[in-house]
Amino acid sequence: MRILVLMCLVTLANTVAAQEIERVNPNGMTQPTAYSHLVKFGDLMFIAGQVSLDEEGNVIGEGDMAAQYRQALENMKIVLASQGADFSNVVKTTIFTTNIDEFRKVAALRDEYFGDNAPASTLVQIQRLARPVFLVEIEAIAIKR
């Protein structure tokens, strides 16, 4: 029995070691140099925090929580689609906002994207995001099935 368990562990370790980490910046997104929009390892997809930037790097919805949240979700949609995935593949999100009360007013936008596939989620209010103009940022973990 111990030999069988050991063989299974060795096989699993070899499988994991053979997988490569893939870093992706999909078309239709800004093309950052300091990070990747997506880091993929096997079936796991780690999506960097998405903000309200369009493909050219312009801020969408300055001062408008709903417009910024929608753009962040649209960006996430592009990242997921680049891997043949959608919001049903998302298992965990973390949402950072500079104002939880304002965010709660637009939180229902989430249903348009996730529908009945609500992931585990954390909502955090912080003093400031990477740029003062940003009101919301959302990161995610997804699994490609």
> Measured between alpha carbons, how far is 37 from 17 in angstroms, rounded to an integer?
23
Q: Mind listing the pLDDT tens digit for each residue in 66-94?
A: 999 999 999 999 999 999 999 999 999 99
Q: Decide: 49 and 134 in contact? Cβ < 8 Å.
A: no
| pTM for the structure as a whole | 0.86
Domains defined for the chain, CATH in brackets: 20-143 (3.30.1330.40)
Q: Mind listing the pLDDT tens digit for each residue in 7-45?
A: 544 554 555 556 799 999 999 999 999 999 999 999 999
Q: 9-35 in b/e burial notation, b at 16+ Cβ within 10 A?
A: eeeeeeeeeeeeeeeebbeebeeeeee
- Bridge partners for 41 per DSSP: 21, 44
Residue 4: per-residue pLDDT: 57
